């Protein structure tokens, strides 16, 4: 399992500080930019030699991620970015289900948002990702599927918040509104952030309750 360092992992590292990484660590482009801006260096060590006090902890993919499947889909506006994100998922050790589309020919985003949402809701995938040009329509469509909590994210903060506070299980991205590097960073943070539970569990339970009451009408 390859660990991933994102820019958020460098927030607690001092100016001109150092962070220890293993030889197989993946460093996102935004993390490299942040490190260069603040003079932070990466020291490569073996996993046995790595000292927890050397810097921020690496944010690795979940321990069982090799057995976890991410469903991913996109319309024509998100097709190109979908293909790029599939490569990152593979590099990070995740399996994925590509639910289309398979070209840049015009198609309708609700079809792919529904396909990803139903795959996640059935339990055939751990989490889902849907892309269109703006990400808004896919989020609306995916959230019509019972059991789906889709979140449109556009930076690290929204990615982290949607998982930590809302237990989001589908990520939507606007392929025409963010760069490839930003999308990769968002996806890395989103996949590696666990649900915090606690007071947030009560609120997620209320979301489920709204869904259940609506289904009975």
Q: What is the pLDDT of residues 101-149, one digit of tens each?
A: 999 999 999 999 999 999 999 989 999 999 999 999 999 999 999 999 9
Q: 3-state DSSP call for residue 121? A: helix
Q: Is the domain covering 65-192 a CATH 3.40.1400.10 domain?
A: yes
Q: The pTM is what? A: 0.74
Q: 147: part of which helix (H) or strand (E)?
A: none
| pLDDT recorded at residue 3 | 72
- Per-residue pLDDT tens over the stretch 200-216: 999 999 999 999 999 88
The residues spanned by each domain of the chain are 3-60, 65-192
Q: pLDDT-derived band of residue 195, with 50, 70 and 90 as boundaries?
A: very high
Map tokens 């073996």 to a residue: 46
For this structure, is 76 an active site residue?
A: no
Nearest to 155 by CA among 125, 126, 132, 135: 135
Residue 131 contacts residue 81 (beta carbons within 8 Å)? yes
Among residues 59, 68, 165, 200, which one is catalytic?
165
CA dist., res. 81 & res. 202, Å (int): 35
Residues across the chain: 217
Q: pLDDT-derived band of residue 61, with 50, 70 and 90 as boundaries?
A: very low
Say yes or no to pLDDT of 21 above 60. yes
Q: What's the number of CA atoms in the CB half-sphere (13 Å) around residue 21? A: 24
């Amino acid at each position: 399992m390859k660990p991933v360092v994102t820019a958020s992992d460098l927030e607690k590292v001092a100016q001109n500080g150092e962070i220890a990484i293993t030889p197989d660590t993946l460093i996102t482009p935004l993390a490299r930019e942040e490190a260069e801006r603040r003079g932070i260096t990466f020291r490569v060590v073996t996993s046995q030699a790595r000292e927890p006090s050397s810097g921020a902890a690496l944010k690795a993919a979940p321990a069982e991620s090799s057995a976890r499947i991410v469903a991913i889909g996109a319309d024509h506006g998100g097709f190109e970015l979908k293909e790029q994100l599939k490569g990152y998922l593979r590099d990070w050790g995740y399996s994925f289900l590509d639910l289309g589309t398979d070209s840049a020919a015009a198609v309708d985003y609700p079809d792919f948002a529904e396909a990803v949402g139903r795959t996640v809701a059935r339990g055939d995938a751990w989490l889902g990702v849907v892309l269109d040009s703006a990400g808004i329509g896919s989020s609306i469509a995916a959230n019509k599927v019972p059991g789906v909590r889709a979140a449109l994210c556009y930076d690290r903060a929204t990615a982290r918040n949607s998982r930590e506070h809302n237990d989001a299980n589908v990520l939507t991205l606007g392929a025409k509104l963010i760069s490839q590097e930003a999308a990769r960073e968002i996806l890395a943070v989103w996949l590696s952030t666990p649900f915090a539970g606690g007071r947030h569990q009560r609120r997620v339970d209320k979301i489920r309750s709204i869904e259940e009451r609506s289904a009975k009408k």
